[in-house]
Structure 1
Amino acid sequence: MNEMSQTALHPAAKKIWLASYPPTVPAELPPLAHRSIGQLFDESCARFADRTAYSSMDKALTFRELEQESRKVGAWLQARGLAKGDRVAVMMPNILQNPVVVFGILRAGFVVVNVNPLYTPRELEHQLNDAGAKAIFVLENFAHTVQQVLSKTSVKHVVVTKMGDMLGLKGHIVNFVVRKVKKLVPAWSIPTAISFKTVLGDGAKATLTPADANLDDLAFLQYTGGTTGVSKGAMLTHRNLLSNKDQMAYWLETAFVRSDRPAVMTFLCALPLYHIFALTVNSLMGVAIGAHNVLIANPRDLPSLVKDIQKHKIHIFPGLNTLFNALLNNAEFQKLDHSSLLMVFGGGMAVQRPVAERWHKMTGCPITEGYGLSETSPVATVNRIDIPEFTGTIGLPVSSTEVSIRDEDGNPLVFGEVGEICIRGPQVMAGYWNRPDETEKVMTPDGFFRTGDMGYMDERGYTKIVDRKKDMILVSGFNVYPNEVEEVAASHPGVLECAAVGVPDENSGEAVKLFVVKRDPSLTEADLKAHCASGLTNYKRPKFIEFRTELPKTPVGKILRRELRPK
């Protein structure tokens, strides 16, 4: 094949996906309307002041209140002497304090470091030290974890909030139940800790100086394992997130081809706000369009979740395959009226065709599958919302975004050829925090991000994932890196060597399986699982352990994980 015809077949060379675009979605994004998330936030809060921005446990927070409370948080942080660009960690689930704190941090010119509240002390210590966090806001349920690592970090300010702090009078009852009845708050002691209510009180007396942030300033350090399993902060700028918000907004508009636009849209926020998916698709998009986000603190509590879905006419529902599947098998959910649903967006992990087909049949609203990563803010591709067919692909590149399928040497491949999925666009991160070596590994010379996922593009521009290049395990939409699991397991004195792989799991998509060669013959599965629980948050822990006399290795002695995966 001559060079000209070879190039003509490269899907990325001609952006052939544009021919498959919905008519209202532009090929390229127009210039961004805001120079920072803070500016967008201020405008939305003024424009939609009397609307509900977030609700939790039946308590509503209007945009006006969101502006006022976040202003207090930002002013309090500035009064502590933090400088522009300093990192502030947020360690809490989906409660009203979360968006108040996050937007307060951004408005004050600081960088948000999202932390999974379920992290073990080992995981938390690494992230706080890597980010160089100066302050942390934490729900009291997880303060005992902060206590264990605080002296080994650069954190100077610890703010502790109670579950009911923003729930009004009902908050006292909630706090009593959480602490005394359900006993969900382990004992903790941080003498220097400040209560969230004190922060709001003191912040009300201080003045917020609006941050002089611009598009290329950092907004978030979003931690991800990347290819090595060492947790790294993806540097997401205001430009990255505002671009992705606009990219999604154009796609969302196409939902109104099938239905009328509601006066106010209601989003279900069942995904954790510390996860990039909910951060952009729920919180940032919701604020931009004046939507109401219904915050779900614990989506595993299906009875409560179903009641919230019943109570609110949900229009937009971003979720994971595992959550959709659980709801489909819930008798109360099956009885609900789903006529309000406009868009159900599946991401984080592959949506299974049987789940998508059952969902469409039961609710009348198809699941639209998309694809992205922390490093892409997150959405890179998405299927058409105005066409209800389930494609089994990750869809088309969003506006101003290119997908290139490349071989090991970085050369673009032709239609149908499997290679690494590479992404270029305004939503691609600025790099990994303090890790230029790792950044270099994942960025091509021409600016594409190597995802580590393997796939191909068809003649219409739709991309299909077929495998993962890296050994990452995907548990309910969360990345689990074998190196990290193995490091914790291998620290047990009874383990000689070990290897972690992903195995199919009907509930979580994949689960962690650990293969172990014993050093101590008396080592049991229960011993090792208990050891792993002390160093790994729940979804990273091995669900299965298999003891072997030896593990498969290369001639130079490297363990071959691929030989241990299910065939």
Structure 2
Amino acid sequence: MPPPPAAPPPPVEPTRPVESAPPLESTPPSEPAPPSEPAPPATLARLPEYAAAAHGDREALADGEVRWTFTRLAAEIAAAARAAIAHGIRPGDRVAIWAPNSRQWIAAALGAVGAGAVLVPVNTRYKPAEAADVIRRSGARVLFTERGFLGTDYVHDLHASGEDLGALGSTVVLRGGNGPDSWEAYLAGGESVTEAERLARADRIRPGDLSDILYTSGTTGRSKGVMTTHGQTLRLYASWSELVTLRPGDRYLLVNPFFHTFGYKAGILACLLRGVTMLPEAVYDTDRILTRMAAERVTCLMGPPTVFHGLIRHPELAAHDLSALRLAGTGAASVPTALVEEIRSVLGAPDVFTAYGLTESGGVVSVCPTDADARTVAHTVGLPLPGTEVRIASPLGEVLPTGRPGEVQVRGYHVTPGYLDDPAATAEAVLPGGWLRTGDIGVLDDRGYLSITDRLKDMYVVGGFNAYPAEVENVLLTHPAVTDAAVVGAPDERLGEVGVAYVVTAGPPVTAAELTAWSRERLANFKVPRRFHLVPELPRNAGGKLLKAQLRRAARGEGA
């Protein structure tokens, strides 16, 4: 169906004044004209200016009724950087941000980083005690947050909790504030700082300086702060953006939360590097997403498989024009071949990719080409990025040959320098020679493509035989009624452990007996789950990662 007529764009807000730089001397006629493409930035402090120079009046962001060009976005971030300096934020200071996706998140985060701060994103699903733990251990001096998001007053709840907040000295309310701690008051404070001062501060930042500390989800214990530098981040996401084919003029619906590596780095930073329009979403809602994808002519959508399942099976899908969609990226869970085929045929996105990474690798290790066949996209995570080495190791540290499963280990420029204030954990994770232990089980094929088959900690033993949940999950996902599946091990008096499956279905009802029969036709008997639980959805964190620890407790009868 033809696209609906475009609505007139909302009025553009006046640009925040920025001091002019000294005029450049004219180029003598005998010299060649300067290149039109600006030099890539060496640090994140220079990234907004790079994007403005490269993409200027292209639309950089659409957030509600507000639309900014790349020039305007750079001006907003510069104003936030001046505000950070005026607020007393010094190079190396840790600045936390506990808020949902918004233009204010982008300006506050990149403004602080542009002033030399180290960004500490905090999961919006955290309770006050969890958020306080990250704020305290990171040494954050300033917190950006909100009042009123989904009925939650983060400021009140955090301070009312009585938790130790460590070095935290001030809070800035990005939205929902109207006093001296408001975002507007914060920006007004920056009017006393000149643009020359801001630029001088940006010039002091080096590629090897820390840019952020992202805390791991902590599903196996206390979360750890993963350190990353400016240079690592820029090189990694320039490479990732090229491999997944992001290009100027793309319109990217940002449903992944900004506190997550994928939302912040494969979202905001990638868009600035490639001239892509950012369309932030604070909360994922399939009805709203469908409407916005059609209205904004979205070309790029990335998220866990459940995002795409929801769109494909939405009863009103046919009423929305998604013909602009060209690129879809997924991962963080088992991906059925049928889903890749449906993304291409039903949603109409010709380019589909999967990828693999972890916070300790900067978020990316490998990417599957967007034009690969559906089975390759579904069953592998592609080739290691340029400059990245991957090997498969046995429990004794022996490097295993092609086709043999073992622990995936990674070496490259993007491996973390370590965990904040935790040398013991760093030594355990990063081996001599720079090899990062991922804790994932995988295998390399003859083409060099990597497949992730499971987590080391997820394996369970049935009557003396090793069982890997991902293998069982992939079989369950081939059932036409199954849209999501997770398998965990649970204690068994006779066999030691057995598999317990949690399954999400769609369409006609399916029984546990039918799923058992389906599994027995395709798996060795010891791998077949002994119990099936049909559930409306699987527990996942905001980044799409399956919370298997929660399922293990349920399988053992311990509750949530």
TM-score normalized by the length of structure 1: 0.71
For residues 428-477 of structure 1, give each alpha carbon's deviation from its aligned partner in whole angstroms, at most 9, with x where no partner exists.
11111111110111112121111101011111111111111135999xxx
| Contact 1:328-1:334 within 8 A present in 2 as well | no
Aligned to 1:217: 209
Alignment root-mean-square deviation, CA: 3.1
Structure 1 residue 147 and structure 2 residue 134: aligned? no
Percent identity over the alignment is: 29
What are the within-5 Å matches in structure 2 for residues 231-380 of structure 1?
Answer: 231-253=223-245, 264-299=249-284, 301-365=285-349, 366-380=351-365
Q: How does 1:119-518 map to 2 (within 5 A)?
A: 119-141=126-148, 142-149=154-161, 152-153=164-165, 154-162=167-175, 194-207=181-194, 208=198, 209-211=200-202, 212-225=204-217, 228-253=220-245, 264-299=249-284, 301-365=285-349, 366-391=351-376, 392-471=379-458, 504-506=502-504
Matches within 5 A, 1:53-72: 53-72=60-79
Tell me the CA shift for residue 86 of structure 1. 0.6
What code does the residue aligned with 1:434 have?
Answer: D
Please say if 1:38 is aligned against 2:70: no
> Counterpart of 1:496?
none
CA–CA distance in structure 2, aligned partners of residues 358 and 402 of structure 1: 32
Q: Deviations over 1:136-176 (max 9, x none)?
A: 0001132233223576212101001226x8xxxxxxxxx9x
Residue 388 of structure 1: how far off its partner (Å) = 4.1
C-alpha change, 1:85 and 1:416, in structure 2 (3 Å) is same
- Going from structure 1 to structure 2, the CA distance change for 1:540 and 1:451 (only over 3 Å counts) comes to closer
Give, in whole Å, the separation in 2 of the partners of 1:318 and 1:311.
Answer: 18
2:90 is matched with: 83
Q: What is the DSSP-based 3-state SS (H/G/I as helix, E as strand, rest coil) of the residue aligned with 2:404?
A: coil
1:219: Cα distance to partner? 0.5
Q: Secondary structure at the match of 2:279?
A: strand
The letter for the 2-side match of 1:239 is G
Q: Secondary structure at the match of 2:451?
A: strand
How far apart are residue 34 of structure 1 and its match?
A: 2.8
Cα distance per residue 1:20-48 (max 9 Å; x no partner): xxxxxxxxxxxx94321112222212332
Q: Once the 2 structures are TM-superposed, how far is the Cα of residue 548 of structure 1 from its aligned partner? A: 7.0
Q: Separation in 2 of the partners of 1:194 and 1:367?
A: 44
Indicate if the aligned counterparts of 1:244 and 1:280 stay in contact, CA closer than 8 A: no
- Work out whether residues 500 and 555 of structure 2, in 8 Å CA contact, stay in contact via their aligned partners in 1: no
Q: String of CA shifts for 1:195-234, please: whole Å, max 9, x gaps.
A: 1111112223323343211111110101104684211111
Distance across 2 between alignment mates of 1:222 and 1:330: 34
Deviation at 1:363, TM superposition (A): 2.1
State the 1:346 CA deviation. Answer: 0.9
**Gaps in structure 1 of 5+ consecutive residues:** 1-31, 166-174, 176-191, 256-260, 475-481, 483-498, 508-536, 552-563
After TM superposition, the runs of 4+ consecutive aligned structure 1 residues lying more than 6 A away are 537-541
Determine helix, strand or coil for the equivalent of 2:226.
strand
Alignment of 1:518-557 (within 5 A): 542=550
For 2:500 and 2:425, how far apart are their aligned partners in 1? 24
Are the counterparts in 1 of residues 77 and 107 from structure 2 also a CA contact under 8 Å? Answer: yes
Deviations 1:223-282 (A, max 9, x none): 1046842111110111221121121133134x8xxxxx7x61111111111110121211
Could you say if the C-alpha distance between residues 541 and 448 of structure 1 is closer, same or farther in structure 2, counting changes exceeding 3 Å? closer
Does the 8 A contact of 2:400 with 2:406 survive in 1? yes
Structure 1 residues 161 and 540: alpha-carbon distance in aligned structure 2, compared to 1, 3 A threshold? farther
Matches of 1:206 and 1:393 in 2, distance apart? 51
* Superposition deviation, residue 313 in structure 1: 1.7
CA distance in 1, matches of 2:549, 2:190: 40
CA contact (8 A) 2:86 2:192 kept: no
1:100 Cα deviation from its structure 2 partner: 0.6
1:317 deviates by 1.5
Which amino acid in 2 is paired with 1:40? L
Instruction: Tell me the distance in 2 between the aligned counterparts of 1:349 and 1:61.
Output: 34
Contact 1:76-1:203 within 8 A present in 2 as well: yes
- Deviation for aligned residue 1:96: 1.1
SS at 1:204 equivalent: helix
Query: Tell me, what secondary structure is at the counterpart of 1:38?
Result: helix
More off after superposition, 345-354 vs 375-384: 345-354
The question of whether the paired residues in 1 share the 8 Å contact of 2:293 and 2:322 is answered with: no
Q: Is the 8 A contact 1:94 1:297 kept in 2?
A: yes
Deviation of the 1:393 alpha carbon: 0.9
The normalised TM-score by structure 2 is: 0.71
* Structure 1 equivalent of residue 124 of structure 2: 117
Find the residue that maps to 2:144 and give its secondary structure.
strand
The Cα of 1:403 is off from its aligned counterpart by 0.9
C-alpha deviation, 1:546, in angstroms: 5.2
- Secondary structure, aligned partner of 1:239: helix
Residues 344-379 of structure 1 deviation map (CA, whole Å, 9 limit, x = unaligned): 111333323232222222023253111111111211
Contact 2:392 2:444 survives alignment (8 Å): yes
Q: Are 1:105 and 2:112 counterparts? A: yes
Structure having greater relative contact order (Cα 8 Å, sep ≥ 6): 1
1:52 aligns with 2:59: yes
Say if 2:40 and 2:50, in contact at 8 Å, map to a contact too.
Answer: no
